[in-house]
Amino acid sequence: MDIGHKKNVYIYLDNKFKNTKLKKGEELLVQVIKEDLGNKGAKVTNVISIPGKYCVLMTMSREVTFSRKIEDKLIKQSIAEQLVKPNDIGIMIRTEAINVSIDDINKEISKLYSIYSNINNEAKYFNKFGLLFDNGGILGRVLRDRLNNNCKVYANTEEDVQYINKFLADSFYGKVSVKLYDDNRTLFDYYGIEREILSLRNNRVYLKCGGYIVIDRTEAMYVIDVNSGKNVKSSSIEKTAYITNYQAAEEIARQVELRNLSGIIVIDFIDMDNEQNREKIIQKLQEGFKDDKNKTVIYPFTELNLVQIARRRSGKSIYDYLEENCQLCSGKGKKLRFSYICMLIKNEIFKIDEQRDIKDIHIEIDEIYSNNIKSDVLTFIKNINAMDKTIYVTYRRDEHFKVEPLIFSNQIENLEMFKIYE
């Protein structure tokens, strides 16, 4: 299907969705359920769902269903009996609903149905393909799923502040503090989030016991290897394996969610002979994923001490956001996105400006980015916010970069031949 995106998208033909009789040239209201990834186009469905904090409006059925995490039959019955819902939609009650009144749930249903009606009305008069509704994108999703009355919200644009305030006005929260962050230094850099994000590219994560896990990805799956490392305190091999595996299980759940890994994930735990220890490791994994928003299935140990996890994809992984193909190795390797590197360099230049007024700046950067810079020097200078600087660039064979002020005249003289802008 053509939805006005740079790539065509795919829709499943299925009796379940009542769309097996679609014809070429037919116009259809669809919703994106999976973003495009690599060479794969996005996937869409003609079954519309609009999520709220307490429930989800769905058009596939007319029934009231409940999150699998709501197990109490009396709570389900009480909500179902008091629910006020239009006849032409279905409602799925989310876990958060058990902590609020039925009035709050019904108010949200009314709000979601109003959104649905507006989408349908706009679609009737829409004479071209294009976006009708985006539900706030990632900002909307974070506010719906993570916000509570104890939160303080900082945004770095006036547009986002307005959106958040409107979201709060239409919702059922108490007084939530929303502030505009207007410093030149990026919001993520100021709170140290950039360092945390970049650390997620490291494939080795250390455990408290001295062991570590190694996270690798292939075309088909993610593979996580558990190693005992320096964990040699116990005299029993079985106990050492159990302690390392137990801590690894907890950290793996954390890393999978932080990195948003999905699809097939295979974990190679250290060999254990004790069946009870194996069961405890599975329980620890299940505990780690119990609050995961994505559907996650954990399979038992195999004879080779492997555990397989199947996790539904929702959005892109951290690697898809931060990395791009490296052309120097025929696209087989990955490098940090050049746009992201520029943002980090801009932050470093700002830090230098905070300390003293320096005009001459030396940037040492990996040679894999040389073509990005040389092909459009002016855009590079604009992206690092250095139009008022004299910039010298040298290249190295190392992914790490360095930004330094040139204070002394001999420093400038030594780098004169590497000047790219003044």
- Whether 150 has a pLDDT exceeding 90, the answer reads no
Three-state helix/strand/coil letters over the chain: CCCCCCCCCEECCCHHHCCCCCCCCCCCCCEEEECCECCECCEEECCCEEECCCEEEECCCCCEEECCCCCCHHHHHHHHHHCCCCCCCEEEECHHHHHCCHHHHHHHHHHHHHHHHHHHHHHHCCCCCCCCCCCCHHHHHHHHHHCCCCCEEEECCHHHHHHHHHHHHCCCCCCCEEEECCCCCCHHHHCCHHHHHHHCCCCEEECCCCCEEEEEECCCCEEEEEECCCCCCCCCHHHHHHHHHHHHHHHHHHHHHHHCCCEEEEEECCCCCCHHHHHHHHHHHHHHCCCCCCCEEECCCCCCCEEEEEECCCCCCHHHHHEEEEHHHCCCEEEECHHHHHHHHHHHHHHHHHHCCCCEEEEEEEHHHHHHHHCCHHHHHHHCCCCCCEEEEEEECCCCCEEEECCCHHHHHHCHHHEEEC
Give the per-residue pLDDT at 7.
83
Identify the band that residue 353 occupies on the pLDDT scale cut at 50, 70 and 90. Answer: confident
pTM here?
0.75
Topology at the third CATH level for domain 10-133: Ribosomal Protein S5; domain 2 (3.30.230)
Give the per-residue pLDDT at 18.
66
pLDDT, tens digit (0-9, with 9 covering 90-100), for 303-334 = 888 999 999 988 788 988 888 887 776 555 78
Q: Mean pLDDT score of the chain, rounded to an integer?
A: 88
pLDDT, tens digit (0-9, with 9 covering 90-100), for 88-146 = 999 999 998 998 899 999 999 999 999 999 999 988 888 778 888 888 888 888 888 88
Identify the band that residue 174 occupies on the pLDDT scale cut at 50, 70 and 90. Answer: low
As a whole-number percent, the residues of the chain with pLDDT over 70 amount to 95
